[in-house]
Structure formats: structure tokens, C-alpha cells
Structure 1
Amino acid sequence: MLLFSFVLFLIIITGCQQEDEVKPEERLQEYVDHWESYDFNAMYDMVAAIEKEDFIERYEKIYSDIGIENLQVNFDFPEQSESEDNNDEETESAVFPIHVSMDSVAGTISFDSEIEMVKTTEVVEEEEKTNWLVNWNAGLIFPEIEDGGTIGLRTVAPVRGQIYDRNRQGLAINESIYEMGVVPEAFTENSDSEKQQIAELLDITVEEIEAKLNQNWVQPNLFVPLKVVPSLAEKDLAGAVNEIKPLTYQTTVGRIYPFGEATAHLVGYIAPITAEKLEEVDENIYNENDLIGYRGLEELFEEELRGEEGIVIYAEKEGQEPTIIVEEEVKNGKSFNLTIDVNVQNELYYSLNGEAGTASAINPGTGEVLALVSSPSFDPSAFLYGLSSNTWDKWNNDPNTPLLNRFASTFAPGSVFKPITSAVGLANGSIDPNEGVEINGLTWQKESWGNYRIKRVSESTGLVNLDNALVRSDNIYFAMQALKMGEDALVSGMKKFGIGEDFPFTYPIQASTISSDGTLGNEILLADTSYGQGEVQMSALHLASSFSAILNNGTIMNPTLLMDEEDSQVWKEGILSNENAALLKKSLRRVVTDGTGQEANISSVEIAGKTGTAELKQSQNQEGGQENGWFVGYPIDDSMIVSMMVEHIEDKPNGSGFVAEKVANAISNLNR
């Protein structure tokens, strides 16, 4: 019995010792668990001799700098011989193959390595206990730095995409720009005069120059940058460099806008990001040193134009080329080819000659937009290369508001709306083109209208039919026809032209409206709307598209801005019959040859179209308010429709004829 008890005691003691024995793979698993949890302090407690700073701080900095996430570490048991299996208690170390995988800011990093576990003994309460520690080296961070070195991160800026017109003329491109500056030691005894000359040339102040020269890093022989300019041609800067001894320049690459003011509202510009803008964008993409698109296509297509920066994580050792660990390749920005023809754009912009107004041009057969103009305009380069307070104040205080994008806005169309009313009436049968209406005098009203009367341009002799009403632009005729067809018919017909719905265009154009609430229930409002007054509002581009229904026998093509958009798509169809379209085309030609648009009747090209004058009234009885002049016209080969509006024509001798002449001359110049 005593022998049995003693044997049982030995078995229990031996079993307890075996249970207390720590195996290397168990300790390694603990270490891996801490590693995957980024618990570097706990990891440090499990490694053999290594400085704490070299271990914890290095791990934390590297992992933080390169954005390590989703760390996974797996290890395999080493292959052992039979003799090693039978002598675990005598094994002093064990090497385990490991596989490490992690996500970084530059992509997934994975590598294979080995971890050596070394046996240690320590005395705890006068008893020796076995432990296993990791024989750590820097190669367990990344194998590339096992023998020394550092981990670095480098970003590669993408090249911003460029914007071209249909003929690959650059509208916003990356080309050589010029950083103007001075070399301090080159100033002569007339330095005050030289600084004044430079300040005037670069549109900066002498104080700004002196502040730059007083920076801590400035040395007599070093180039001190003052301002970047897109061209040396302006103010003959190249000549000034030869004449003013300290003035010089360095060439670099930057954004330029070759057509300046003519395309500024369409293209927009890039500029340093503001603190306010930085709060609106993704902080993982932008920082306070970035440029970003403002206005126009630079802003609309910012994400595609900007591209995505590349990121390289590398190991670097002194005297050796860096070794790339992982790389997220840079994605340069996408370039855009527009349907815009910069020749048309320029012609229309400069034909406005600084007048406040807008113009659009389209190819009616395809819907391709050839020009989008807003006048007056601004220099888009100024925002990127130095906008002086004087220029900013000038733009903001200009009564013609050069910073306002008029082609994206809507306006009262005036009488250029009459062909739309005509098309609606012809289509629904309420207007008989051969039926004359008796109209007497220059004004007319329904008895229930009180003091409100509708005026027309000139008195008629005999009955007024549709052709005569269009040629003479007779407001009374169209008011009568609108009352005859009624609210539902006119509203329904306007909707067939897309009025009252979003305009389907890449660039955000304000939607045209029927009225403030979309109805024409009031009789006076119904009558006024028929000739483009009331509350109807349309953009210049929508008007050009609407006239294309006449040229396309009742079809309006979807307006397009990008050359790579799908093939021409129909937006609206069935608006007019071929017969009625032909009637309107004939009348619109007569508007130019015999009617209100005779200023467009030129010998070089045959033009058809419609004039319009929109009176901006605060009330129905107001007199002497602002008048905007319109002309929507096209050469009779139907190759282009131009829609133009000029504000404040009330003092122009020919009224809307002033606009018709501009459009005709522009079309003539483009047809040479």
C-alpha cells in the first residue's frame, strides 16, 4: 500500500512538472497575439536583450507613418528529427517559419521570415523556471532592414489632367510658367527705383518685395522668388529682365489658360486650397499645401482631373540605392476633350466687346455645344499666380459683375420665346397659320384687366397671321393666341420643350421655369408668357436647343459637352411636324430680311432668327426699367445656332437689333 502511494505521488509530481513546462510555440503564440494587437509593450517583455527605444518606439513610428492595418502573423512548426523529439528538455532554441501580412497606405505588404525562440531560466521563489523569449532583430519589422537601415515613405504627385476643345486646342494645360524674382547682389545704387519698377511690372508692392528680401534664408547671390506668371509676353517681362539688372526668372511647369477671359467661366481655375474649402473636402486626399479647382470645369471635374498620388514605402541604407517594399502607383489625372470650338468661343466672347451678357452656340444636328460665353469675364491665372487686392476690388465693384457666370443662369427670354409659342400652337391646332386676327392700335387688353394693357412694336394694316406676327414681333397676336389655347395647352407645350425640368447637360445649367409655381392660372400671366415676359425664365443654351426643334423637324438632341459622350441622343421629339417646322423656318428667315432682325441681314451669309427684348419689371405697370436684348439666329445651312443676350439695351439705338448685328457678324467671321 505504501509502495502504491509513493508511485502515485511521483506520477502526480511528474505530471504537474510537465503541465508547468512552457513550450516555445505557446510563448510564440502569445507574442504573435500581442503583435497582431499592436501591443508593443507586451511584445517587448517577451524579447531577449534589446533597447526599449529601439523596439517600442521604432515599431510605433514605422507602423504609424505607413498606416499599418489588418496585421496577420502565422507561424509553422519547424521540422524536427526523431532525436530532437525525444530530447525537448535539452533543446535551447527553436526556429519557427513565419508569414506576415499587413495593409499599408501603399498597399498590402507581406513577407516570410523566421523567429528564433530561445530558452531561458529564471529563479522564482527559490525555484528555477523555464521560459522562452524571442531572439528579435529588425528584420522582423521588415526583412529589408535586418542588417540596418530605415523605412521611408515618399509620395508621387499626379500630373493634373488637361482640358482641350474639340480640335485639341488647350483650354487648361500644363506648360512652362515663369517664376519672377531678384538676385539681391544685383541691385544697383538705384535700388529704390528698381524695386518700384519691379513692383509695377509684377502688380505687387515695394513692401512685398522688401519682405521677401528680408527672409532669414536670403543670401546675396541667391534667387529670391517674387511672383509666378504664366507668360513673359505680358508687360514685356522678357524685355524688362534685360533692362532691370536684379530682375530674373526661373522656368517651371504649371497650369495655364491660353484663352484667358474668353473661357474663364467655362473652364474655371485652380488655386491654393482655402481653410474653408479644406473643411469641405476629404482630409485624406487634400492638405493645406494643395491646389484645387474652383469654378467651371476645374471644379466640376476636380476628382478626375486631380488624379491619385502614388505612394512608395522603401528601405534605405547608407551608401545604397533605396529598396522598394511596396508601391501604390501614381494615377495621373484624366484629360477631357470638349465639344467646344474655341474659335466659336472666342468669336462670340469678343463680339460682346465687354458688354454684360451671354452667348451659346450648338450644332443642332448633334446637340454638341460649341460655345458657352459669359461677359464680362476675368483672368483665371490671377487666382493661381497672384491676385492683387486692387484687381479683386475692381472685379467686385464692377457694376457689370465679371465674376458672375451668366451662361449658367436663366433670364426672361422676351420675344425670342415666340417661336416656341408658335410651335406649341401649331402642334396642338390652336394656331392656324393661315388665319388672320384683327388687331387695332398699339395696345390691347381684356375688359377685366383694369389698367394693364399689352403693347406691340408697330400697328398693322389688315389681319395679322402667324408669319406676320413673327416678322413684326406682335405681342398682342401671341397674347390672344395664348388665351385662346388656354393654360393647360401652353404649359403642356412648354414642357415638351423641357421647360420646367432639369436641363440634361454635363455642366450645371439652371433649369428653365414656366413660372414661380409652374402654372399660368392668371390670365395676364398666361398672355405675357406667350411673348417671353411674365415669369418664364430660360438659359441661353436652352433657347438655342429649343430652336433646334425647328431645324430638326420637331426633334431636340441632348446637348453634349464632352467628345467621348455616347453618340448623339434625342432629348425631345415629336414637337413639330415637318410641315410646321418648314413654316417657322420660312418666317424666321423673313424676320431677318423684312422684320425686326434686319441688322442680321448681311451679304456674306444668309441668316434666319428671332429678336427679343425682355423688360425687367418689378410690377406690371412699371415703365422705364432695364431691358435685355436677345437674338437667336443661325445660317440657313443649319450648321450652327447662336443664342445671345446683352443686358441694358434700353439706351441702344437699335434695341435688340444691336444683338442681332453682333450675332450676324460673328457667324460671318466664322464662315470665312
Structure 2
Amino acid sequence: MKKKILLSLLLISVLMLVFGCSNTNTAKDSFDKYVKAWSKSDFKNMYSYLSLDSKKNITEKDFIEKYKNIYDGIDLSKISVTPEYPKSLKKDGNGNVSIPFKVSMNTSGGAINFEDTAYLKQEEINNSKAWTIVWSNKMIFPDLGDGEKVRVDKKLGNRGEIRSENSSYLAKNGFVAQIGIISGKFNANDSNTKNNIAQILNVTSDSIDKKLSASYVKPDMFVPIDTISKDDSAKISALSQISGIMIQDKAARVYPLKEKAAFLTGYVQPISAEELTNLKSKGYTQDDVIGKSGLEKIYENQLRAEDGAEIYIVDKNGNKKKTLAKKDPKNGTDLNITINTDIQSALYDQYKGDSGTSIAMQPKTGEVLALVSSPAYDPNDFVLGMSSDKWNSLNNDPKKPLLNRFESAFAPGSTFKPITAAVGLKTNKLDPNAAKNISGLKWQRDSSWGGYFVTRTEQYSEPSNLLNALVHSDNIYFAQAALNIGKDTFVSEAKNFGIGEKIPFEYGMTTSKLSKDNTINTDIQLADSGYGQGEMLINPLQLTSIYTSFVNGGNIINPYLNADKKSSSQSKIWKSNVFSQDISNTILNDLSQVVSNPEGTGHGAYIPNIPLAGKTGTAEIKANQNDTNGTENGWFIAVNTNNPKLLVLEMYEDVKNRGGSHYVVPKVKDIFQQFCK
């Protein structure tokens, strides 16, 4: 048996000698593994293939740091290493093997491509032969000699700015105040001064100590401590009195309207590690900012700037030796939007701590003039760097200043009644002149409803026809109208208004729905839906768009924000011929009476020289009909009927015991008095 094994081993040895098996093949295998690690930036694994002499010249730690610092500095996003193997690998006089290769890199300075040659030698490692890489700096870049360095000069591009219809800025490239300490002029042992600075900036004294004690800090160095708004004059004045404090301008994204347009503009912040991983192929680097919400995020591709850079080698004396790559910066493209900042500000200022949302629109063109959500946050705080205390106060505030209300959906209450009327008129299920037999303040279809009743707030002496039902906002009238229309027709006609369909708009809005599944299952649900209750939830922008149909002959105009896409021809219609011109005229005339008639629920908005048509709505938010602890949301939506140029919707939360929708009516009136002259 032993003789057979020996003979087999001898035969294998003879075959290896005959066919020249494996010294050169092993060199190829070793370089393939080195290249694979290199392509993955696995520097630790790369180091393991270095020759013994190479390892004497550079430690593993320094090797890894050198590659990492250079590749991070040039913002390497992709690298491809391709060996150019000859037909056969030949040894030189020293027994080494040479392998040509090509490298292609994507960097902040553009593409870097070069060709070079790797040298491998066979060495005794761990009692066996292995092929190793003869390494030097030139394997990073062929022109990089010992003691030389790679430098990067960044040239910043400017992010596109966001401008309004009235030429004001909603987001611009401005400056903030960077607060720093000149360590040599500051007494680091003066705890009282440090505590004073910490209190002014709302930071900890320990954080100041940590920054001042960093190993790189020199006596004449400006050490950044915090960044604040240049508008914060009180803090700037207090800090400027402290010895050793220096205040410098720092370029930053600035939002002049602050809370007033927070959810509209959104904000930018430094790119996160996860975002960088996903977007590195698109040229993003670790120094970039990126839109995190609002228009900043929606139009990131348009607004983003691409920084330029020059990547070059300097010799031992710091002189530029060779440029490896150079790319000019590319500015982002400005975004012009239809928002009127004066209307936006006026609407937000009305809330004064109240919660709600407002929309203003040009009803003939679809230009959105204001999108307001209150309360809100200051987007500048996110740019400057928000403290944990500030974030917790926003996150835990019961008024929910981080909730975007114009993006959400709510029970529309009686503002839905004109839609029910339009459906009834279109399907001939509603005679506008016929009076319904209604008496008292509550009504039910029959005894099968048990203890459930539809209620209304007042009785009136006029006939219960469509005009008077809208003027007095009669829930019972519209409950009966919905029942006459029927479930299937009500549901199908609601779809014609776009209910249940995502509204085509730049900013993603919550889809309006009749119910969770857009069906109506019971007569009670149908009756309640007729006056905007039940399970119905409507997005405020979509409701505003639907109301454009009353001044556009039954066509619902498509809302838009991007003024750069404004059509020079006719406005874009989202839903055409939802109902007829005659129906449009009927409802618009009735809604005009809601405001002009002294008994109308919207009469508080009456302006003699500005004829308005509008509808109030008080939506009950409660668990059931007997719930006395629920709240109410108040609505009013109005449009000027003489050459319509302005359509305004305002919704206020928690108006119970504050007048319901009557709390909102004078606020809408004020906007028309200011901006519709």
C-alpha cells in the first residue's frame, strides 16, 4: 500500500514538471485576490498580500489609513481594477513576475484613469511558498512618490434657490453666524464664562471643553462651538462681549419665512451614511447636503448643486506636482413656484397658536398661492443643528407642530354639501325648487335606525329647497338628498370628482376617501356622507380644487406649484365636465346667497364691493352620536365671483364652544379684503 502511494506522488511530481504547473499560475491567483480586495476597498485584506519587505516599510495601520484617507478625500464612489495578463507570465532575472493593470476611478474631481504594472515575488511565508505584492506609493497613483501627498481643492456649487410668485425667497443661499473660540485668548479654566456661553447657546459646558481640548487645537485657532441664525441679535450681542469669542459668517441654507412655510419648503441637512450609500453613484459625496422634506426633497434633482474639485499631487516641499483630475462645480437650477409669500404669511399669522390648515388658489388657472399648516417648526433649526431639548419639545407638543395638515385628510363637514347638490342635480334625483318636508331639529328615515337621528342646528321659516338648505346649512336636507341619490350612484359620482384617486400634484397629498374602502354600506352612512360626515375624509387641497368647478362650468382645475411649467395656453383640467354649466351656475348662485343673505351661515364674510360665494362647515369629531367629549373642526371656503382670481379655504381644529365655522368666517374675509381689491 505504501509503495502505491509513493508511486502516485512520484507520478504527480513528474506531471507537474512536465506541464509546468504552478508557480506562475499562483502569481496570477494571488494578484486576482489582491485586485478583488482592492475593488472592494478591503484594505486589510490587500495588506495581507504584500511582500515582507513592503510590510517592513509600512505598517498595516498606516497602509489602511493611507488608502482610506486618500480615497475618502477624493470621494471615491467607484473603482475598477483590470489586470492585463499576457499569454504567459514570465519571471525576470530576480525571479519576479510583472502584471500590467488598468485602474478607473470615479471621484469628486471626475474620472481618474491610469495604467501601471504590479510586481510579484515568491517568498517563504509560514513554511510554504507564496506570491506577494511588491508595494510602494506608486500603486496608489503611478506619479505618487515617497513623502508626497494627494491634495483636494473643493470648489462649491450653489444650490438652486426657491422663489415665489411675488419674487420673494422661500429658500436661499445665505449666511448664519458661526460661534467659535480662539483658545489662546480664552481662559479654559474659567467655568463661569464657559457656563455663560453654554447657557446662551443651549449647549453643555462639557461639549465646549471637549472641542477646546482636541489634539489638533492650536492657541491661535478658531474652534467652532455652535451655529446660530444671524437674526438672533440678542445672542450675538451677548456672545460678542465675551473675551475669546469670535463670530464668523458661514454659508448655509436659509428659510426667510421660517415657520410660515416650513412644510412647504421643507429643509436640507447633511447627507446621511445610508443616503450616501444609495446615492454615491449619482455623484453625492460625504460633504453634500440633501433635501429631507418638502420642496427641497421633491425637487432635489433640480436644486442640488454638484461641487467641483481639483485632485493633485504635491511634492515633499508642498509644490503642486501633477493634477490627477479636475471638475468645475455645477450650480443647481432655481425653482420658481406659484406661492404668494404675502398671502402665505397672512394666512399663517391668523392662527396665532391655533391648529389648522389653509389653501389659497387661483381658481381659473390652478396656481396654488398658499399652502399653510399650523402650528409648525422653524426649518432653519434643522439646518443649524437642533438640540435634543428642542426636538423633544416639538415631538411631544400636543398641538403636533411636526404634523403636516395640508397634506392630511379631514372630515369636511358641510363644505361637502355643494358636491352632494351637484350629484343630485346631475342625476335628476334633486329638484332645486322643490321643498322637502322637514320639521324639527332631528330626523330619521324610519324606526330601523333605532336611536340614531340626523340633526340640524336651526329651524327656518323659508321652504326647505336647495337654496335655503345651503344658506342655513341644513343637514337633514342633504341627508335626504343623499338617500334619494342612492349608495351606488353616490359612490360612482364621487369618483368623478376624483375622490378615491390621488390628486396630481407635486407635493404628495393624502388621497380623499368616502370610507376606508371607498364604499358606503348602510343608509345611515349614506345619509351622513351627504353632509360631509360618516367615514368621509377629504384632503384640503383636493376640496379646494373641487370648488374650482363652480366657477369653471363643471371642470375641476389641476392645481400646481411649479411656475416654470406654467402653460401659456389654457389651464390644465384635472376632471372635465363633472357636471354641466347650468348646474355650476345654480350652485354658485346659491353659495353667493350663503354669504350675501343676512341669514346665511357665511354672512360674516360679506364685503359689499367683493361678491363672494362660499360654504361653511363644522365637522364633528367624536366616537359616536352620544359622545359629548368630542371636538369640532371649523371650515370656510370662498371664492370671489366677479372675475374669480382667489379661492381660499381655511380649516381650524378644536373650534367647539368657539363658534364652530363662524370662528373661521371672518378670517377668510380678512384675506379677501387684503388681496382681492
TM-score normalised over the length of structure 2: 0.78
Provide the secondary structure at the position in 2 that maps to 1:424. helix
2:607 aligns with: 602
- Per-residue displacement from partner, 1:126-157 (whole Å, max 9, x unpaired)? xxxxxxxxx99988986645899555667666
Provide the secondary structure at the position in 2 that maps to 1:347. helix
Provide the secondary structure at the position in 1 that maps to 2:159. coil
Q: CA deviation at 1:351?
A: 1.4
Provide the secondary structure at the position in 2 that maps to 1:503. coil
2:596 aligns with: 593
Alpha-carbon distance change, 327 to 31 in structure 1, aligned in 2, over 3 angstroms: farther
- Per-residue displacement from partner, 1:373-407 (whole Å, max 9, x unpaired)? 11011122222324344433432332211111111
- How many Å separate the matches in 2 of 1:29 and 1:397? 66
Alpha-carbon distance change, 436 to 207 in structure 1, aligned in 2, over 3 angstroms: same
Q: CA deviation at 1:645?
A: 0.6
Alpha-carbon distance change, 329 to 469 in structure 1, aligned in 2, over 3 angstroms: same
Q: CA deviation at 1:670?
A: 2.3
Alpha-carbon distance change, 608 to 61 in structure 1, aligned in 2, over 3 angstroms: same
Q: CA deviation at 1:466?
A: 1.0
Superposition pairs of residues 255-654 of structure 1, within 5 angstroms: 255-272=253-270, 278-279=273-274, 282=277, 285=280, 291-302=289-300, 304-308=302-306, 310=308, 312-319=310-317, 320-327=319-326, 330-448=329-447, 449-565=449-565, 567=567, 568-594=571-597, 595-603=600-608, 605-636=610-641, 637-652=643-658, 654=659
Alpha-carbon distance change, 210 to 670 in structure 1, aligned in 2, over 3 angstroms: farther
1:124 aligns with: none
Would the aligned equivalents of 1:629 and 1:659 in 2 still touch at CA under 8 Å? yes
Q: CA deviation at 1:228?
A: 0.4
- Per-residue displacement from partner, 1:330-350 (whole Å, max 9, x unpaired)? 544444222222222111111
Q: CA deviation at 1:238?
A: 4.5
Would the aligned equivalents of 2:147 and 2:316 in 1 still touch at CA under 8 Å? no
- Per-residue displacement from partner, 1:438-457 (whole Å, max 9, x unpaired)? 21112111113111111112
Would the aligned equivalents of 2:101 and 2:117 in 1 still touch at CA under 8 Å? no
Q: CA deviation at 1:236?
A: 2.8
Alpha-carbon distance change, 138 to 295 in structure 1, aligned in 2, over 3 angstroms: closer
State which drifts further: 198-207 or 471-480. Answer: 198-207
> Among residues 73, 82, 87, which one is paired with 1:71 in the alignment?
82
- How many Å separate the matches in 2 of 1:322 and 1:489? 79
State which drifts further: 443-452 or 308-317. Answer: 308-317
Q: Which letter does structure 2 place at the counterpart of 1:600?
A: A
Would the aligned equivalents of 1:187 and 1:194 in 2 still touch at CA under 8 Å? no
State which drifts further: 324-333 or 469-478. Answer: 324-333
Provide the secondary structure at the position in 1 that maps to 2:563. coil
Would the aligned equivalents of 2:432 and 2:466 in 1 still touch at CA under 8 Å? yes
- How many Å separate the matches in 1 of 2:550 and 2:585? 8
- Per-residue displacement from partner, 1:291-332 (whole Å, max 9, x unpaired)? 444332333444554445556553333453242233465544
> Among residues 653, 658, 661, which one is paired with 1:656 in the alignment?
661
RMSD: 4.4
Q: CA deviation at 1:223?
A: 3.6
Alpha-carbon distance change, 154 to 74 in structure 1, aligned in 2, over 3 angstroms: farther
Q: CA deviation at 1:435?
A: 2.0
Q: CA deviation at 1:599?
A: 1.6
Alpha-carbon distance change, 344 to 659 in structure 1, aligned in 2, over 3 angstroms: same
Provide the secondary structure at the position in 1 that maps to 2:486. helix
Would the aligned equivalents of 1:604 and 1:668 in 2 still touch at CA under 8 Å? no
1:87 aligns with: none
Would the aligned equivalents of 2:354 and 2:653 in 1 still touch at CA under 8 Å? yes
- How many Å separate the matches in 1 of 2:205 and 2:353? 32
Q: CA deviation at 1:416?
A: 0.6
Q: Which runs of 5+ in 2 are unaligned?
A: 1-17, 36-45, 88-92, 94-98, 120-133
Q: CA deviation at 1:525?
A: 0.5
Q: CA deviation at 1:185?
A: 6.1
Alpha-carbon distance change, 235 to 142 in structure 1, aligned in 2, over 3 angstroms: closer
Provide the secondary structure at the position in 2 that maps to 1:105. strand
Provide the secondary structure at the position in 1 that maps to 2:386. coil
- How many Å separate the matches in 1 of 2:144 and 2:381? 48
Which protein shows a greater Rg?
A: 1
Matched residue pairs, number? 617
Q: CA deviation at 1:508?
A: 1.2
Provide the secondary structure at the position in 1 that maps to 2:590. helix
Provide the secondary structure at the position in 1 that maps to 2:591. helix
Alpha-carbon distance change, 328 to 206 in structure 1, aligned in 2, over 3 angstroms: closer
State which drifts further: 34-43 or 297-306. Answer: 34-43
Provide the secondary structure at the position in 2 that maps to 1:583. helix
Q: CA deviation at 1:623?
A: 3.4
1:180 aligns with: 179
Q: Which letter does structure 1 place at the counterpart of 2:277?
A: D
> Among residues 249, 252, 258, which one is paired with 1:251 in the alignment?
249
Would the aligned equivalents of 1:99 and 1:110 in 2 still touch at CA under 8 Å? no
1:3 aligns with: none
- How many Å separate the matches in 2 of 1:441 and 1:534? 22
Would the aligned equivalents of 1:149 and 1:318 in 2 still touch at CA under 8 Å? yes
Provide the secondary structure at the position in 2 that maps to 1:409. coil
1:123 aligns with: none
Q: Which letter does structure 1 place at the counterpart of 2:347?
A: L
Report % sequence identity: 38
Provide the secondary structure at the position in 2 that maps to 1:548. helix
Q: CA deviation at 1:43?
A: 12
Provide the secondary structure at the position in 1 that maps to 2:458. coil
- How many Å separate the matches in 2 of 1:359 and 1:300? 21
- How many Å separate the matches in 1 of 2:351 and 2:384? 27
- Per-residue displacement from partner, 1:469-516 (whole Å, max 9, x unpaired)? 111111111111111111111111211111111122111111001112
Alpha-carbon distance change, 336 to 214 in structure 1, aligned in 2, over 3 angstroms: same
- Per-residue displacement from partner, 1:602-648 (whole Å, max 9, x unpaired)? 35633221100000121133235200000111222311211111011
Q: Which letter does structure 2 place at the counterpart of 1:437?
A: K
Would the aligned equivalents of 1:358 and 1:374 in 2 still touch at CA under 8 Å? yes
Alpha-carbon distance change, 326 to 388 in structure 1, aligned in 2, over 3 angstroms: closer
State which drifts further: 215-224 or 607-616. Answer: 215-224
2:104 aligns with: 103
Alpha-carbon distance change, 211 to 437 in structure 1, aligned in 2, over 3 angstroms: same
Would the aligned equivalents of 2:312 and 2:320 in 1 still touch at CA under 8 Å? no
Q: CA deviation at 1:219?
A: 5.6
Q: Which letter does structure 1 place at the counterpart of 2:676?
A: N
- How many Å separate the matches in 2 of 1:408 and 1:439? 38
State which drifts further: 568-577 or 236-245. Answer: 236-245
- Per-residue displacement from partner, 1:43-98 (whole Å, max 9, x unpaired)? 999xxxx978789999999998465415264999xxxxxxxxxxxxxxx9xxxxx9
